[in-house]
Structure 1
Amino acid sequence: MCAIVLVPAVVAAVTGIVRNPTSDADLVLPLVAVVVAVAVAAYASVRRIRRAATRTTPGGGTADVVPLDELDRRSRRMLVETDDCVRTSREELGCAAALSGGETVRMYAEAVEFAAAELAQAFLIRQRLDDGEGEVRVLLEEVLTRCDAAGRRLDAEAAGFDQIRALERTAPEALEHSETRFRELTARVGEADGMLSGLRERYALSAYLPVAGHDEEAKDRLVFAMVCLNRTRQALDGEGTGDAVVPLRAAETSVDQATLLLDGVTRLASVLAAAAAELPAALNAAEADLAEARGRLDTETVRADLRGRITHGESVVAAVREETGEGAGVEGAQDAREPYDPVDALRRIEQMAAGLDRAQHRVPEGSRALARLQRALLVARGTVGAASDQVTAHRGAVGCEARTRLAEAERRLRAAENTETPPVPAPADALADAREAATLARRARQLAERDVRAYGTPYAEGLWTGGAVLGGILLDAPHRRGDRPGHPGDGGPASYGGPRTRGRRAGGELFRSTRPENPPPDGPGAP
């Protein structure tokens, strides 16, 4: 277009000079040359802009513009896939480090951290997109670029990792390590059952809901691990080392998930006890804040809604005192009239205090702000941990939205916890980050639970691998695409690597049969 506009200008200039022979006619050729050069440069610039606008893949382009809906679908798929790759790679890296030492796998750990950093940036961009920030196409393409870089790095290290790990050679040692962990976990299942019973008696449903089914799910993962460990033992006893690798790898990941589920119960019990112990101090601080706010009602430096904030705060404090048995701590909580949720109580008190801050144009500082921050971090850590467990143990079903909210919650929690790396946040900023981290984590867990419900039961057609499929332990085989039939989990266990290599240990028919018979007496035992 620039060239089209400039051509008439050139013609007009030349015509003018021809009609006026007394003018500087010797300037015609230089003038034409300059104008043509500008036109060519403008035309080249337009072509570059158009090529950039139609680029749809990292480092390449196509003649057609990919619709935004398709780019969005690709970005969601790649975020989920890359997140699974990073989680699985970390898990297998831990198994390798336990047997051969951390220094041996250092370079592969660095690859995982590189991929995790790229993934974190991709999730941050996705969060910005969901918040309505930035130009949509640019953000979507950057998400794809980041995910591609993460996956390529893990894919590039997969072959070397296999040589270090050498499961075909180290299977007996790896089997013994996994059997030891299995036996330790089976002893913990009963403890988790008892701990959950205590939580149900003492706290409201909302308090223990994040781990309500963890004991049963842990048993499911352990049953799957038990069968895989016995198949591994049988293969090794029959000198079929190659046949032992696939069930061994599946058993390792299943044991990891059982550990995560049982640890989640223990962690939540600790968080609830700590929150109950903090409630008396939190209530006293809230009443002091309310008294201070009442004294400022007639000043000109407060907002008009302060009176309403005070009324709301008084109702929150009264409700929490009633729930906890007139402000009792850990001991007195047992005498509360009804089971309650101490974490939610702390969250409501902090929200009330934040509202008073805004209405008074006040920035929390000093020891009072630090005390509030510690309570807010307690809530955020517990909430983020519960959401992370939900996503990790059900990653075969959890989609992009829940993972994006979790990633943002983890980022905000790290910011709130930062006390050493500049810039260290002020207490007020750290408080805001901690509150937002808890809010995002609660939303992430809700979205993950929704995805699991929508996914349904993966135990169709008599399969015994449903929990392993739901947990992303077993992958779908490529042959399930299109019209060719298959079962969930046909692809075998996930391994260290990116999208192109993580399914390299194919399961074939190994996980397709109905539930196996009970293991032989010399097996690792049953949960």
Structure 2
Amino acid sequence: MSGALIGALIIGAGILALLGVGAVWLSSGNKQQKRLYSAPQQGQLPQNQAPPDPLDAKSTDELRLQAGEMLVAADNAVASSEQELLFASASYGDDQVKPFQKDIDEAKSHLRESFRLQQQVDQSHPEGEAEAREFYKQIIHSCEKVNQTLQSHQQEFEGLRNLERNPEPVLQQLRAHLAELKPRHEQAHATLQNLAISYDDDALDQYRDNLDQAGQALTAAEQAVSAATDCIVRADTAEAVLALHSGEQAAADANALLDSMEQTEDHLRKARRNLDIGIAQTTQDIAQAKATYQAGQAPELAGPIAAAESAVERTQRALDSGRRINPLELLHGLELAHRELDEPLNSVRDRQAQDRRARDMLQNELLTARSQVQSSLDFLRSRRYGVSSTARTRMAEAERCLTEAESIGESQPSRAVELAQRAKALAVQAAQIAQQEAATNNMQNMGGSPFGRTSLGGGYGYGTGGGFGGFGTAGGTGFGGTSYGGSAMGGQNEINRALRTGMRMARMTSRGGRRRRRMF
């Protein structure tokens, strides 16, 4: 991070204290009293006046850029600190890391508030410059709280691990962790072969991408272990610590990707089971819609009825064909057609009927929302050091909407369905933005070294650079320039492989919106 940004993180350390101003009471010869106040001395502020905010001296564009940079740094710092804490907990137990877990939880709360403010800026498009400036200042101050929270016990955390004194136990722990991850990675390869029997290439695109990213992460972790071992032999503990931090973060990323692949397998199987239920529910609603239409209560139902019948026929034909399918995409297409049918039907349904229908839809909506959110998270996670604050903001809002949808499903099913749908749309947006940034970055990096700044020989770049908060190394583990597969944005083939399903979902949603505009 630039010196200007680091300087912004420690703003406020030199704020002048307000000095009291004395009063002198004098008596005149006629006993009339007068209260005289001494004038403020140079450098003093009048009473009840807050000190000036140094951010006020910056232009609006400078505030916008600083807010974006600090959001990225804060997000990376929290993610890196969480990984550090996991390894510390494995070594010393949960009780020893409780104070640091509280720091992480508080920092995540400040980070969520930062993303909420950024999403509000993006959505509301502040009309006046003063309003925009206030939003950006709030984001910056909220990010500063993330940094302050993570730094509050950093010395104690470093003292707990004290890697420089004896890095050997952490090295052994990392080796043991890799020994657990490698069989899981091999099993994921075998699982892919089994999944490919039932599901088509589009359904497994993200799985393959995660499998490749996990393999590269494991390779990076093994290289870090080798480098740390050599450094310990040479008694160069400082370099050994850097390598170990790099290896731990790579191993943590591999673990997260493997977890996601196991979830993807579950999502695909649930989606396949839900297709039969979805066909039955949509067929039932088509019958109700036809009766309503024929009674002349909702003439606008003609188009949605035809679209829903087409979706059911298309889905049933795919299931009957015996060919490999993408159940998540089929389920999403069925949901879109059903949603268009529900909108005019709800105008003639009572509230209880609407809630019953929403409850029927909710589980499918949550399933596809979880799948899309996880897919986009995986895409952003493996490229996090090249992902902008805009993509991260959309992703954070998608997670918030999904969490809220899950929490209110029983009490407010209609609202929960809306939130799940919004979570899907935002997750697709986040991935699209990150994909465009990756493509741009790859174009800019063409012709350079295939390994960019990420090779271990160059200081272990994996997550150990930067200077924004975070537990771990002295400079913080907030952010550095790296990913797997060479360039900072990953391998050249990733742009062609990743997010095809998400892109199709976005196009289908867009087509659905255009149909609604034509029909009404």
User: TM-score range with shorter-chain normalisation?
Assistant: 0.7 to 0.9
The residue number in structure 2 matching 1:311 is: 306
- The one-letter code of the counterpart of 2:70 is M
Question: 1:378 aligned to 2:367?
Answer: yes
Q: Is the 8 A contact 2:462 2:480 kept in 1?
A: no
Q: Is the 8 A contact 2:286 2:309 kept in 1?
A: yes
Following superposition, the deviation at residue 346 of structure 1 comes to 1.7
- Structure 1 residues 62 and 161 mapped into 2: Cα distance closer, same or farther (>3 Å)? closer
Matches of 1:214 and 1:97 in 2, distance apart? 26
- Structure 1 residues 505 and 235 mapped into 2: Cα distance closer, same or farther (>3 Å)? farther
- Structure 1 residues 495 and 249 mapped into 2: Cα distance closer, same or farther (>3 Å)? farther
Matches of 2:480 and 2:335 in 1, distance apart? 51
Matches of 2:140 and 2:313 in 1, distance apart? 50
- In the comparison of the two structures, how many residue pairs are matched? 424
Question: 1:321 aligned to 2:316?
Answer: yes
Following superposition, the deviation at residue 123 of structure 1 comes to 0.9
The residue number in structure 2 matching 1:502 is: 476
SS in 1 for 2:53: coil
CA deviation vs aligned residue, 1:291-350 (integer Å, no higher than 9, x gap): 111111145654x4221111111111111112222xxxxxxxxx534x322112222222
Matches of 2:446 and 2:79 in 1, distance apart? 21
SS in 1 for 2:124: coil
Question: 1:80 aligned to 2:76?
Answer: no
- Structure 1 residues 499 and 184 mapped into 2: Cα distance closer, same or farther (>3 Å)? closer
Where do residues 44-63 of structure 1 align in structure 2 (5 Å cutoff)? 60-61=53-54
CA deviation vs aligned residue, 1:210-252 (integer Å, no higher than 9, x gap): 2332222222222221121122223334544444211111111
The residue number in structure 1 matching 2:132 is: 136
Following superposition, the deviation at residue 445 of structure 1 comes to 1.9
Following superposition, the deviation at residue 281 of structure 1 comes to 0.8
Following superposition, the deviation at residue 109 of structure 1 comes to 1.1
Where do residues 421-500 of structure 1 align in structure 2 (5 Å cutoff)? 425-456=411-442, 460-461=448-449, 463=451, 466=454, 473-475=462-464, 496-497=470-471
Matches of 2:121 and 2:186 in 1, distance apart? 45
Question: 1:122 aligned to 2:96?
Answer: no
CA RMSD of aligned residues (A): 3.4
The residue number in structure 1 matching 2:334 is: 349
Matches of 1:308 and 1:505 in 2, distance apart? 51
- Structure 1 residues 124 and 495 mapped into 2: Cα distance closer, same or farther (>3 Å)? closer
The residue number in structure 2 matching 1:389 is: 378
Which structure 2 residue ranges, 5 or more long, are not aligned?
1-45, 487-520
Q: Is the 8 A contact 2:408 2:416 kept in 1?
A: no
Q: Is the 8 A contact 2:398 2:426 kept in 1?
A: yes
CA deviation vs aligned residue, 1:398-441 (integer Å, no higher than 9, x gap): 11121111101100011111159xxx741111111111111211
CA deviation vs aligned residue, 1:41-71 (integer Å, no higher than 9, x gap): xxxxxx99xx99xx9xxx714674x333222
- The one-letter code of the counterpart of 2:384 is R
The normalised TM-score by structure 2 is 0.73
- Structure 1 residues 451 and 460 mapped into 2: Cα distance closer, same or farther (>3 Å)? same
- Structure 1 residues 499 and 285 mapped into 2: Cα distance closer, same or farther (>3 Å)? farther
Q: Is the 8 A contact 1:155 1:500 kept in 2?
A: no
Where do residues 59-458 of structure 1 align in structure 2 (5 Å cutoff)? 60-61=53-54, 64=57, 66-132=58-124, 134=126, 135-169=131-165, 171-299=167-295, 302=298, 304-325=299-320, 336-337=322-323, 339-360=324-345, 361=347, 362=349, 365=354, 368-419=357-408, 425-456=411-442
The normalised TM-score by structure 1 is 0.73
Matches of 2:438 and 2:341 in 1, distance apart? 38
Q: Is the 8 A contact 1:196 1:265 kept in 2?
A: no
Q: Which has the larger radius of gyration?
A: 1
Matches of 1:192 and 1:93 in 2, distance apart? 26
Matches of 2:72 and 2:107 in 1, distance apart? 13
Q: Is the 8 A contact 1:108 1:157 kept in 2?
A: yes
- Structure 1 residues 414 and 506 mapped into 2: Cα distance closer, same or farther (>3 Å)? closer
SS in 2 for 1:167: coil
Matches of 2:426 and 2:202 in 1, distance apart? 17
Matches of 1:98 and 1:395 in 2, distance apart? 25
- The one-letter code of the counterpart of 1:177 is Q
Q: Is the 8 A contact 1:395 1:472 kept in 2?
A: no
Following superposition, the deviation at residue 147 of structure 1 comes to 1.0
Following superposition, the deviation at residue 139 of structure 1 comes to 1.7
Following superposition, the deviation at residue 157 of structure 1 comes to 2.4
Matches of 2:455 and 2:258 in 1, distance apart? 15
Q: Is the 8 A contact 1:459 1:466 kept in 2?
A: no
- Structure 1 residues 395 and 467 mapped into 2: Cα distance closer, same or farther (>3 Å)? farther
SS in 2 for 1:473: coil
Following superposition, the deviation at residue 201 of structure 1 comes to 4.7
Q: Is the 8 A contact 1:152 1:498 kept in 2?
A: no
Matches of 2:277 and 2:337 in 1, distance apart? 15
Runs of 4+ in 1 over 6 A off after TM superposition: 504-507
Matches of 1:158 and 1:186 in 2, distance apart? 32
Matches of 2:219 and 2:396 in 1, distance apart? 31
- The one-letter code of the counterpart of 1:230 is S
SS in 2 for 1:131: helix
Matches of 1:113 and 1:439 in 2, distance apart? 27
Matches of 2:461 and 2:164 in 1, distance apart? 23
Q: Is the 8 A contact 1:119 1:146 kept in 2?
A: yes
Identity among equivalent pairs (%): 25
SS in 2 for 1:340: coil
- The one-letter code of the counterpart of 1:104 is Q
Which structure 1 residue ranges, 5 or more long, are not aligned?
1-46, 326-334, 479-493, 513-527
Following superposition, the deviation at residue 136 of structure 1 comes to 2.2
Q: Is the 8 A contact 1:225 1:251 kept in 2?
A: yes
